Structure 1
Amino acid sequence: MDKVLWERLVMVVFVFFAIPFPKVLVVNGAIPALFAFGDSILDTGNNNNILAITKCNFPPYGRDFPGGIPTGRCCNGKIPTDLIASALGIKETVPAYLSGNLSPQDLVTGVCFASAGSGIDDATSRLQGVVSLPSQLRLFQEYIGKLTALVGQQRAADIISKSVFLVSAGNNDIAITYSFLLAPTLQPFPLYSTRLVTTTSNFFKSLYELGARRVWVLSTLPLGCLPGGRTVAGGPLRICAPFANQFAQTFNGQLSSAVDSMRVTLPNYDIRFIDVYTPLFNLINNPQPEGFVDVSEGCCGTAPFGVSGICTLLSLCPNPSSYVFWDSAHPTERAYRFVVSSILQQHTNNVSNSFAFAPVNSSLSN
């Protein structure tokens, strides 16, 4: 996808997240599907039916999701996977591939392979018993077989090449595997980060070989500013832990460079680095203009070691819209909406005639 089409595509997403924002309807199936890989930032419920440590399929998770049910999303409501798919006019929510009840329409319009707790380092996934990136890739290959059987090889290839692929990885490698397992061994973080970037670059190449052409690579969050990060390494005042944020910045810088290099070297590969760190960090440091009040605690609780599953039925959180974070490690839906809007503004220059906009009544109340 060339630069102009990319800018037009991103404008669609930006307009969706305005206040109020319009519903985006994609004309002529320009973007037929969305796929997600990586960790809990994008996982819509793949851990529900596996023996994983990290799970979010119990109340009060999902309290503001349609129907008020816990789906496995580590949030009070929708997450970036859903929000971007909806903005692109694909569908309102993206099902987890391992949900066990996928319809033919689900297969045609995209599914999620991400697994909460997963990472680039296989040790990260093994530690929590979740689906590793290589395993997610194998599931995608399995999915391609199912899609091909459903619509034929030519249409399947066309769907994959025109779809958007989201990838979020590195958060758990830095916050858990390195910080708790490798840092005490005095392994320099830049070396570990380089290994992570090399491994994830191979993953992106594998996606390309399987037909993906539009890949959005999300940076890590500002890990030192997560409620769990503040508790563990922020001192008695629970400030944003500087070392954790520095690790995240180092990794993000290396990842951005690798993505830029890959876009140049692989033909017709529109792979983009999406900076999630900066808009979330800025929101944490200046929340009032956007109507947020609490930036240091999780709305439904803050775990002593940053474990996402701290939320319980006893958790009291009457107003998630005033919190940046839902639990010790994950933003609220409203914070996600702000971040996605902010990062995509950077790529906006014009509006495509290939998209139609139909106004709807929407708000950022959750």
Structure 2
Amino acid sequence: MYLPYMMKPLIISIKLSSSKSSLVIFLFSFLLLGDHSRARITLPEGVTVPAVIAFGDSIVDQGANNNLKTVVKANFPPYGQDFPDQMPTGRFTNNKTPADMIAEELGIKEILPAYLDPSIDNKEYLTGVSFASGGSGYDPQTPKIVDVLSFDDQLKQFREYIEKLKGMVGEEKTQFILENSLFLVVAGSDDLANTYFTIGIRKLEYDVPSYAGLMASSASNFLQDIYKLGARRIAVFGAPPIGCVPSQRTLGGGGLRACAEEYNQAAQIYNSKLQPVTQYLNSTLAQSRIVYIDIYNPLLDIIENPLQYGIEVVDKGCCGTGNIEVAILCNKLLPTCPDDSKYLFWDSYHPTNKGYTILVNEVLGKYVDDFF
């Protein structure tokens, strides 16, 4: 649990090249930096995180897919049934996503909007947006299967976003925002679960280790791309134990719907390739804080020891039968569980608000200091 922390005004020492002296200025603008008085975690003195910026798949898709011609959507009930005003926003859960939660824990804002949200206020750009698209992945084939935004598409939008920032606050402040923001990169699950195993379009070309290598290489290229555009603090999430999510239990876990171990092993192989990539980039890219986030073990621990976390059901989602329903298959015509706080998964693929809260608290507690 994180106690509220009253952030001190940011003090930045700027060296003046002409006089080789230092001028201490107070950059205390909620318009630019957000209201950090609401921060729930303690940051080092003199450090601020002006924005959270997310890329990836449905875990941090804040509604990007709403207006795309794809079946991978969540902008209808019962999605969002616990969101403010019971609003289905396109988030693939019953309430908030990890992107929202991390932005809130840092005291930036309660809701992180999608960059493609047509109702977005331009001021929101200053404190961050999400470019993520449900169903996307590092493999260029993955988003093509379901007609969603690729990482190239997200990178193009990020460039547009930077130009909008420059138009609002100028080049210098834009650089400050980018260099001090926290970037979330969350992908890999759809590459493995869908492109490789379920649909199998890559199996003829790659065995699991070589496909995992392709994913890690694509991740490396993307991380270098956003670094070149100004990102410095980057959280790179590994793959979860995908064989244990309800839909993969149904598809690959046999009659008893056990965890599909082949899928879990593939996730571990991929993680073993992604982690050294992030370590190498962190050590070679100047002023970077590129941190690999292990999500595999924390999620597996909840699955194996649910009662320790106040969870009762880990093998089914709250929506419908809980075995296979996700996206358009999880809809208002189906019943939902009476108490989603007892479930780890909301649909057959995505955690509930309760599950995400547990994971985000663990991630922030373990890794927050690595970014500063």
TM-score (norm 1): 0.87
Spell out the pairing of 1:307-322 with structure 2 (5 A cutoff).
307-313=326-332, 314-322=334-342
Distance in 2 (CA, whole Å) between partners of 1:186 and 1:154 is 46
Deviations 1:310-330 (A, max 9, x none): 212122222010000000100
Tell me the distance in 1 between the aligned counterparts of 2:141 and 2:325: 18
Whether 2:343 is the aligned partner of 1:323: answer yes
* 8 A contact 1:227–1:302 mirrored in 2: no
Q: Which runs of 4+ in 1 moved over 6 A?
A: none
Specify the SS of the correspondent of 1:185: coil
SS in 2 for 1:247: helix
Q: Does 1:174 align with 2:155?
A: no
* Alignment partner of 1:283 is 2:305: no
How far apart, CA to CA, are the structure 2 residues paired with 1:348 and 1:71? Answer: 28
Q: Secondary structure at the match of 2:78?
A: coil
Cα distance change of structure 1 residues 25 and 60 upon mapping to structure 2, 3 Å threshold = farther
Asked if 2 retains the 8 angstrom alpha-carbon contact of 1:24 and 1:87, the reply is no
CA distance in 2, matches of 1:348, 1:262: 18
Question: Could you tell me which of 318, 336, 344 is aligned with 2:356?
Answer: 336
1:243-262 alignment, distance < 5 Å: 243-262=262-281
Q: Please report how far the alpha carbon of residue 304 of structure 1 lies from its aligned counterpart in structure 2 after TM superposition.
A: 6.1
Q: Is the 8 A contact 1:42 1:81 kept in 2?
A: yes
Q: Which amino acid aligns with 2:3?
A: P
Alignment of 1:233-244 (within 5 A): 233-244=252-263
Could you tell me how far 1:253 is from its partner in structure 2? 1.2
Instruction: Let me know the Cα RMSD of the aligned residues.
Output: 1.8
SS of 1:278 mapped into structure 2: helix
Offset at residue 186 of structure 1 (A): 6.9
Residue type at the aligned position of 1:320? D
Deviation at 1:345, TM superposition (A): 2.9
- 1:266 corresponding residue in structure 2: 285
**Contact 1:167–1:217 (CA<8 Å) still a contact in 2?**
yes
The CA deviation at 1:157 is 0.9
**Is 1:215 the equivalent of 2:222?**
no
Q: Distance in 1 between matches of 2:50 and 2:98?
A: 17
Q: CA deviation at 1:347?
A: 3.6
Whether 1:78 aligns to 2:118 is no
Contact 1:53-1:130 at 8 Å conserved across structures: no
- Counterpart for residue 147 of structure 2: 129
**Counterpart Cα distance in 2 of 1:40 and 1:25:** 33
Q: Is the 1:308–1:329 contact (alpha carbons within 8 Å) kept by the matching residues of 2?
A: no
Change (3 A) 1:253 1:164: same
- Partner amino acid for 1:233? G
**Residues 292-315 of structure 1 deviation map (CA, whole Å, 9 limit, x = unaligned):** 100000001357667433212122
Per-residue CA deviations over 1:53-92 (Å, capped at 9, x if unaligned) read: 2001000000011111100000000010000000001100
Task: Measure the CA separation in 1 of the matches of 2:269 and 2:7.
Answer: 37
Partner of 1:362: none
Secondary structure of 1:158's partner?
helix
Question: Bigger shift: 29-38 or 311-320?
Answer: 311-320
CA displacement at 1:206 relative to structure 2: 0.5
Q: SS of the residue aligned with 1:148?
A: helix
Contact 1:308 1:330 (C-alpha < 8 Å) held by counterparts: no
Total equivalences in the alignment: 332
State the identity %: 42
Distance 2:177 2:201 in 1: 41
Instruction: Tell which has more relative contact order, 1 or 2 (C-alpha 8 A, sep 6+).
Output: 1
| CA–CA separation in structure 2 for the residues paired with 1:348 and 1:168 | 17
Q: Structure 1 residues 213, 38: closer, same or farther in 2, change over 3 A? A: same
In 2, the alpha carbon distance for the partners of 1:24 and 1:82 equals 18
Give, in whole Å, the separation in 2 of the partners of 1:107 and 1:264: 30
Question: Whole-Å Cα distance in 2 between the matches of residues 281 and 347 of structure 1?
Answer: 18
Q: Which residue of 1 aligns with 2:181?
A: 163
SS at 1:224 equivalent: helix
Could you say which residue in structure 2 is the equivalent of 1:228?
247
Structure 1 pair 269–315 and aligned structure 2 pair: CA distance change class (3 A): same
What is the identity, as a one-letter code, of the residue corresponding to 1:210? L
Alignment CA distance shift 1:317-1:25 (3 Å): farther
Unpaired runs of at least 5, structure 1: 1-17, 353-366
Q: Aligned residue for 1:151? A: 169
Specify the code of the residue in structure 2 equivalent to 1:80. Answer: P
Q: Is the 8 A contact 2:66 2:90 kept in 1?
A: yes
Tell me the CA shift for residue 349 of structure 1. 7.4
Distance 1:305 1:211 in 2: 40
Match of 2:3 in 1: 22
In structure 2, the CA distance between the partners of 1:348 and 1:32, relative to structure 1 (3 Å rule), is: closer
C-alpha contact (below 8 Å) 1:214/1:270 kept by paired residues = yes
TM superposition shift of 1:40 = 0.5
**Would the alpha carbon gap of residues 206 and 302 (structure 1) be closer, same or farther in structure 2, given more than 3 Å must change?**
farther
Partner Cα distance (1:270, 1:316) in 2: 41
